[in-house]
Amino acid sequence: MAVFQSVVLPPKSVWVCWADNSKYWKVSPMQNSRFSQKAELLEVCWLQIQGTFDTAILDKDTTYSLLFFFKHNDRASGLGNGAEVSLSQKDGKTICKRQVHLKPGSSDFIKQDGEEWLAIEAGTFQPTGITPEISFNLLDCSSNWKSGLVFAGVEIRAVST
């Protein structure tokens, strides 16, 4: 069995609230990028991105980080309230949960050298001792209308062995 050091889930592989409505999101392919798609937030009030991931393909003795990848366009607005990111086991037990800010310039964004996308870390986990399937969630349900956030996907990345 192959063990992966990194797995990328594009926007179409996760659930993005309202992404199937072109009034709220524009999903398009990307060329010359490690991400195959991007979903551009046109305007929503309820921003939620969630999914599940089977940890069976990961090395049980490695610590992994789950990252959401974004960038902002010129129309970025309404992103000043805090959002919650979390990781949970299939049985509902929380692995980690924290508040982040999605506005341009937020210190919660991680900039990788040579990378045009910014990362928000949901948290870290080690597959040993948790259920084989984990859920991830990003939620901003504030009443602000949000726009201008571009989502490239979720990455599960090894951070230590």
Question: What's the pLDDT tens digit per position in 53-103?
Answer: 999 889 888 999 999 999 999 999 999 999 999 999 988 899 999 999 999
Q: Per residue in 4-53, pLDDT tens?
A: 678 999 999 999 999 999 999 999 999 888 899 999 999 999 999 999 99
| Structural contact between residues 47 and 145, judged by C-beta atoms closer than 8 angstroms | no
| Structural contact between residues 116 and 30, judged by C-beta atoms closer than 8 angstroms | no
Say how far apart CA 132 and CA 90 lie, in whole Å.
8
CATH superfamily of 6-160: Galactose-binding domain-like (2.60.120.260)
Q: Is the pTM of this model over 0.75?
A: yes
Half-sphere exposure of residue 70: CA atoms within 13 angstroms, side-chain side: 26
Say how far apart CA 45 and CA 71 lie, in whole Å.
18
